[in-house]
């Protein structure tokens, strides 16, 4: 027998209904049994009509007293009055088929009804109730006398029909839904069996509470959520284990005197956190295993110097380094930083851009392939096939949320099993990093370099306040400080928005006559953009009106005000990133949020920005508000959208499942051969998306 028949061969379905199911992604038995109720109704208690309460959902049984068509406000309604010993109740339909209704509600027959209690005149009534003929109800009624599942609406198919199909399918096939979690894992985490859980989710008995079911915290829900996390984490654990081959390049810290020279040349001493992370990285680089490390640190926490430490170590060991940044502005800035921090050392570096002139490009590529260049900085341009290294030993990826998993892998292929350091300034809540980056080792810099003042954040949303804001900006510029004005541009190509940004710029230029105000957006290309950025950095521009091209990484200590227009259109993490552009010098800095329209939700969000500057806290709120997909960009992150489980609400289950998965893969939980086969077989089927996404 086919253990997973396609949906149309399941009893009660057929070709017509199978199309309705398919629209919801239900194509076969397995997907049918995973088509879970969205909520549950408690219809166990039948009460006397006399004691129904308005505004509640109740179940009653009554005898048909009268059934008739009535006119109400010009429309026909079908009304059935039922009664029991305690009172009368009206059942009302606005849409009905007369002949069918008359036959159905013969006077004297007994009816079960469930619905919201409302009133009309002085008689309680139910509009479009769920009903059943009481005397025909056997013990196996699916819609009464039990906790009743309510499924996602399927156009053209009633809940009663879906319940019936589900019940028959489960009763017929439940035996083929075999367990795939090893007994040892289930026992350790007290999880109910698979078929029991599936059955319980559709037709729960009295052993679970309706509240638990509706909050998705029943043991059955826990089991299915556990499965979703477990198989994904299994795939990560396998991947992580596979990368643990002892074939990494060994960088010796004492290979040359370069490390000493580098540290001595730094204009500051490292913070404790930086020092600890440098230790973690040097440990990786000397371990013989290839490094796969994610370095998280809030904007301005000083990640670049840590990455450079690793780079100098690689170069000192005669290996080359690739440094990839998401924007040209950032790549240029990195090249300058690298130049100044390695002054006087034997480090030859270059910048490769998409518009690098052919002659220069040829020279750079030549020096890269013959090994003259120690370090190359670039954007996506580094991924081009012509970019070949002599021996790339370290890859650094900055602001990695701008790159996808695939690009990470592509760059890695440029070297011979190189070490990899990935950096992000978007603090990621731990639960997210356990899923999205579960195969990486993680280092965190929480401490900011000393002498930083916290940025003050102000929120405005009234037109009348604009002049006051302008006065503030003017005061700062008169003191010789610089100002960013950021205008949102959802799509770089969106001409209308660009026009709005340009208009804004014209207005500001007039308002601040006498100061140099410049505009920077994605369409300003190459040299011009570079020049403008350099002018701002050198203090020749007082106000830079920009779209979000300046969002990541840009470092100008003399800029003390960040003025964000349409702040309501930005996500929390993005606002936090932008705010991190100021407060980089010793002066008190200011972040001004201006909202043009403010919903209650947006107000709450922006208020959070005013109240906290903890990037990790902000990231958690962002995750709660926008969900992981929006926050990371699902496609880029390589993370599946779990069907039932949520990495926001089900943190405990996630942690448990992750521990379990890693214990299984690393042999901490002992499994016999058949357990293992069962697991791996299932990992390929059920978790195939997860598996293919992360390339197991
Ligand atoms: P991010 O982590 O956002 O990439 P950067 O690496 O750009 O941060 O560093 C931000 C600024 O802090 C830079 O100007 C850098 O020179 C400075 N900085 C980094 N580490 C220290 C330190 N230990 N003490 C003082 N300043 C530091
Ligand atoms: Mg940076």
Ligand with the closest atom to the CA of 397: 2
Instruction: Calculate mean pLDDT across residues 256-272.
Output: 85
Q: Which helix (H) or strand (E) holds 90?
A: strand 87-93
Rg of the chain in Å (alpha carbons): 32
- Report the pLDDT value the prediction gives residue 367, as an integer from 0 to 100: 96
What would the pLDDT profile of 126-151 be if each residue is shown by its tens digit?
999 988 877 665 545 788 888 999 99
Query: Residue 487's closest CA among 471, 503, 463, 470?
Result: 503
Ligand with the closest atom to the CA of 303: 1
**pLDDT band at residue 321, thresholds of 50, 70 and 90?**
very high
What would the pLDDT profile of 177-214 be if each residue is shown by its tens digit?
888 888 889 998 999 999 999 999 999 999 999 999 99
- Per-residue pLDDT for 685 more than 60? no
| 298: alpha, beta or left? (left if phi > 0; alpha if psi -120 to 50) | beta
User: How do beta strands 123-127 and 87-93 pair?
Assistant: parallel
Q: Collapse the DSSP code of 342 into the 3-class scheme (helix H, G, I; strand E, B; otherwise coil) and give the result.
A: coil
Report the C-alpha gap between 364 and 361 in whole angstroms: 5
**Which of 68-77, 237-246, 265-274, 393-402 has the highest average model confidence (pLDDT)?**
265-274
Measured from CB, residues less than 6 Å from any atom of ligand 1 are: 268, 270-271, 274, 297, 299-305, 425, 449, 553, 555, 584
- Per-residue pLDDT for 378 more than 90? yes
Q: Whose CA is nearest to atom 16 of ligand 1?
A: 302
Are the C-beta atoms of 387 and 312 separated by less than 8 Å?
Answer: no
- Per-residue pLDDT for 376 more than 90? yes
Q: At what angle do helices 600-611 and 572-579 cross, to 10 degrees?
A: 40
Q: How far is the CA of 347 from the centre of ligand 2 (A)?
A: 21
Q: Determine which of 78-92, 105-119, 189-203, 207-221 has the lowest per-residue pLDDT on average.
A: 105-119
User: At which residue do the structure tokens 């690393």 appear?
Assistant: 666
Out of 263, 265, 298, 300, give the residue to mutate to test ligand 1, the one with the largest number of ligand atoms within 8 Å of its CB: 300
Q: Whose CA is nearest to atom 13 of ligand 1?
A: 302
The DSSP 8-state label assigned to residue 251 in this structure reads: P
> If you average pLDDT over every residue of the chain, what do you get?
86
Q: Which helix (H) or strand (E) holds 315?
A: helix 303-316
**pLDDT band at residue 647, thresholds of 50, 70 and 90?**
confident
Instruction: Calculate mean pLDDT across residues 393-415.
Output: 83
Ligand with the closest atom to the CA of 263: 1
Are the C-beta atoms of 647 and 217 separated by less than 8 Å?
Answer: no
Are the C-beta atoms of 521 and 491 separated by less than 8 Å?
Answer: no
Ligand 1 atom with minimal separation from the 333 CA: 7
- Per-residue pLDDT for 407 more than 70? yes
- Report the pLDDT value the prediction gives residue 696, as an integer from 0 to 100: 35
**What's the pTM value of the predicted model, to 2 decimals?**
0.70
Ligand with the closest atom to the CA of 308: 1
- Per-residue pLDDT for 125 more than 80? yes
Q: Determine which of 39-48, 127-136, 238-247 has the lowest per-residue pLDDT on average.
A: 238-247
Q: Determine which of 280-289, 421-430, 538-547 has the lowest per-residue pLDDT on average.
A: 421-430
Burial class (CB in 10 A: 0-12, 13-18, 19+), 583: buried
Burial class (CB in 10 A: 0-12, 13-18, 19+), 681: exposed
Are the C-beta atoms of 524 and 492 separated by less than 8 Å?
Answer: no
| C-beta atoms surrounding 634 within 10 Å | 15
- Report the pLDDT value the prediction gives residue 426, as an integer from 0 to 100: 74
Report the C-alpha gap between 151 and 342 in whole angstroms: 64
User: Domains in the chain, ordered, with CATH?
Assistant: 1-39+151-216 (no CATH), 45-145 (2.40.50.140), 258-445 (3.40.50.300), 456-612 (3.40.50.300)
- Report the pLDDT value the prediction gives residue 643, as an integer from 0 to 100: 83
Report the C-alpha gap between 139 and 519 in whole angstroms: 75
Instruction: Calculate mean pLDDT across residues 533-546.
Output: 90
- Report the pLDDT value the prediction gives residue 255, as an integer from 0 to 100: 65
Instruction: Calculate mean pLDDT across residues 587-609.
Output: 90
- Better-scored residue on pLDDT, 627 or 493: 627
Q: Whose CA is nearest to atom 27 of ligand 1?
A: 449
Q: Whose CA is nearest to atom 14 of ligand 1?
A: 555
User: At which residue do the structure tokens 């290839």 appear?
Assistant: 290
Query: Residue 430's closest CA among 614, 617, 283?
Result: 617
Distance set, CA 449 to CA 279, 330, 442, 552, 583 (Å)? 18, 20, 20, 18, 11
Query: Residue 411's closest CA among 424, 426, 396?
Result: 396
Q: How far is the CA of 336 from the centre of ligand 2 (A)?
A: 13
| 560: alpha, beta or left? (left if phi > 0; alpha if psi -120 to 50) | alpha
- Per-residue pLDDT for 1 more than 60? no
Q: How far is the CA of 304 from the centre of ligand 2 (A)?
A: 6
| 139: alpha, beta or left? (left if phi > 0; alpha if psi -120 to 50) | alpha
Q: How far is the CA of 302 from the centre of ligand 2 (A)?
A: 7
- Report the pLDDT value the prediction gives residue 493, as an integer from 0 to 100: 58
Cβ < 5 A residues, ion ligand 2: 553
Give the side-chain half-sphere CA count within 13 A for 408. Answer: 25
User: How do beta strands 118-120 and 292-297 pair?
Assistant: unpaired
Report the C-alpha gap between 57 and 43 in whole angstroms: 9
Q: Which helix (H) or strand (E) holds 411?
A: helix 405-412
Report the C-alpha gap between 164 and 170 in whole angstroms: 10
- Report the pLDDT value the prediction gives residue 695, as an integer from 0 to 100: 38
Structure tokens at 576: 């936090």
Are the C-beta atoms of 172 and 12 separated by less than 8 Å?
Answer: no
Q: Determine which of 13-27, 251-265, 282-296, 555-569 has the lowest per-residue pLDDT on average.
A: 251-265
- Report the pLDDT value the prediction gives residue 369, as an integer from 0 to 100: 96
**pLDDT band at residue 694, thresholds of 50, 70 and 90?**
very low
Q: How far is the CA of 381 from the centre of ligand 2 (A)?
A: 19
């Amino acid at each position: 027998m086919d253990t997973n028949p396609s949906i149309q061969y399941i009893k009660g379905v057929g070709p017509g209904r199978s199309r309705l199911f398919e629209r919801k992604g239900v194509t076969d038995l397995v997907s049918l049994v995973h088509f879970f109720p969205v909520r549950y109704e408690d219809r166990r208690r039948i009460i006397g009509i006399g004691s129904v309460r308005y505004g509640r959902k109740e179940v009653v049984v009554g005898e048909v007293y009268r059934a008739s068509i009535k006119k109400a406000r010009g429309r026909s309604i079908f009304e059935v009055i039922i009664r029991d010993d305690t009172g009368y109740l009206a059942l009302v339909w606005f849409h009905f088929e007369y002949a069918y209704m008359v036959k159905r509600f013969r006077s004297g027959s007994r009816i079960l009804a469930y619905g919201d209690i409302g009133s009309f005149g002085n008689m309680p009534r139910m509009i479009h109730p769920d009903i059943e003929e009481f005397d025909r109800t056997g013990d196996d009624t699916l819609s009464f006398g039990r906790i009743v599942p309510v499924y996602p609406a399927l156009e053209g198919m009633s809940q009663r029909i879906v319940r019936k199909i589900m019940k028959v399918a489960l009763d017929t096939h439940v035996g083929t839904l075999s367990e795939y979690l090893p007994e040892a894992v289930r026992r350790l985490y007290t999880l109910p069996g698979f078929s029991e859980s599936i059955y319980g989710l559709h037709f729960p008995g009295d052993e679970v509470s309706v509240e638990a079911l509706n909050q998705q915290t029943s043991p059955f829900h826990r089991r299915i959520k556990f499965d979703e996390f477990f198989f994904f984490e299994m795939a990560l654990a396998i991947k992580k284990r596979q990368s643990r081959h002892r074939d990494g390049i060994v960088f010796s810290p004492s290979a040359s005197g370069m490390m000493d020279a580098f540290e001595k040349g730094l204009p500051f001493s490292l913070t404790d956190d930086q020092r600890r992370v440098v230790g973690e990285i040097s440990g990786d680089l000397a371990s013989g295993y290839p490094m796969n490390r994610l370095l998280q640190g809030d904007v301005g926490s000083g990640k670049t110097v840590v990455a450079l430490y690793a780079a100098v170590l690689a170069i000192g060991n005669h290996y080359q380094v690739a440094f990839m940044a998401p924007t040209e502005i950032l790549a240029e800035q990195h090249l300058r930083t690298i130049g100044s921090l390695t002054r006087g050392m034997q480090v030859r570096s270059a910048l490769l851009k998409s518009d690098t002139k052919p002659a220069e490009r040829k020279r750079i590529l030549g020096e890269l392939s013959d090994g003259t260049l120690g370090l190359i900085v670039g954007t996506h341009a580094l991924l081009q096939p012509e970019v070949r290294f002599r021996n790339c030993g370290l890859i650094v990826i900055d602001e990695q949320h701008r790159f996808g998993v695939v690009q990470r892998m592509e760059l890695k292929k440029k070297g011979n099993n190189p070490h990899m350091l990935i950096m992000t300034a978007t603090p990621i809540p731990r639960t997210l990093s356990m899923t999205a980056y579960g195969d990486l080792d993680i280092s965190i810099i929480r401490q900011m370099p000393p002498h930083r003042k916290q940025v003050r954040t102000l929120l405005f949303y009234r037109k009348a306040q604009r002049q006051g804001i302008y006065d503030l900006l003017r005061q700062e510029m008169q003191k010789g400080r610089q100002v960013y004005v950021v205008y949102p541009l959802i799509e770089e190509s969106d001409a209308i928005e660009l026009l709005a940004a340009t208009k804004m710029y014209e207005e500001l230029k007039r308002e601040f006559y006498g100061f140099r105000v410049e505009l920077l957006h994605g369409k300003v290309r190459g040299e011009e953009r570079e020049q403008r950025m350099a002018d701002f950095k050198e203090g020749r521009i007082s106000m830079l009106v920009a779209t979000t091209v300046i969002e990541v990484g840009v470092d100008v200590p003399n800029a003390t005000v960040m003025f964000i227009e349409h702040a309501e259109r930005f996500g929390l993490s993005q606002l936090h990133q932008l705010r991190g552009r100021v407060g980089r010098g010793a002066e008190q800095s200011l972040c001004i949020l201006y909202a043009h329209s403010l919903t209650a939700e947006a107000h709450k969000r922006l208020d959070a920005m005013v109240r906290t500057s903890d990037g990790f806290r902000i990231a958690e709120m962002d995750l709660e508000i926008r969900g992981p997909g929006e926050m990371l960009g699902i496609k880029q992150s390589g993370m599946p959208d779990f069907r039932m489980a949520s990495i926001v609400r089900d943190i405990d289950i996630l942690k448990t499942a992750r521990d379990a998965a890693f214990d299984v893969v690393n042999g901490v939980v002992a499994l016999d051969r058949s357990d293992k086969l069962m697991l791996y077989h299932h990992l390929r089927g059920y978790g195939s998306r997860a598996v293919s996404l992360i390339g197991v």
